[in-house]
Amino acid sequence: MRALIQRVSQASVTVEGETLASIGRGLVVLLGVGHGDSEAQAAYLAEKIANLRIFEDAQGKTNLSALDVGGEAIVVSQFTLYADTAKGRRPSFINAAQPEVAAPLVERFIGYLRGQGVPTQAGKFGAHMLVQIYNDGPVTIWLER
């Protein structure tokens, strides 16, 4: 399971003109599910992300987590995190899990993140989404488990 986390000042997800998710200060988590990924990995990443100290404290040091600052999250499923570009110019996504496997794991991850205490919204699995991200910093972190 792979997660690309961006610290944001605000973010939103729109599908077919309808805003499905909108947050202020917090995190956007682009989440990819690969073959063999499990609920244990989803739980691990959710705990790690909720407690990741990437927000600044009063002294300007990255010492605070989303929980510490009352941040929210948007989770967007993104199979393209498993792109293989080793050959040619067209990426292969053979390492991404099939939708019937990935969708439930994305939902479990969202549940685990909420369970950590982070108010969490989501995009729509498999939809063409417009994701508006105001990356704060910019701070972007790659996690893989």
Q: CB-side exposure of 121: number of CA atoms within 13 Å?
A: 19
Query: Active site residue: 41, 79, 109, 116, which one?
Result: 79
Query: Active site residue: 6, 41, 78, 116, which one?
Result: 78
Instruction: Quote the CA–CA distance of 29 and 5 in Å, as a whole number.
Output: 5
Active site residue 41: no
What is the end-to-end Cα distance of the chain in Å, rounded?
6
**By the 8 A CB rule, do 92 and 46 touch?**
no
Neighbouring residues of 63: CB distance < 8 A, sequence distance ≥ 6: 53, 55, 56, 57
**Prior bond to 138 cis, omega within 30?**
yes
Active site residue 55: no
Active site residue 85: no
**By the 8 A CB rule, do 51 and 29 touch?**
no
| Positions marked active-site | 78-80
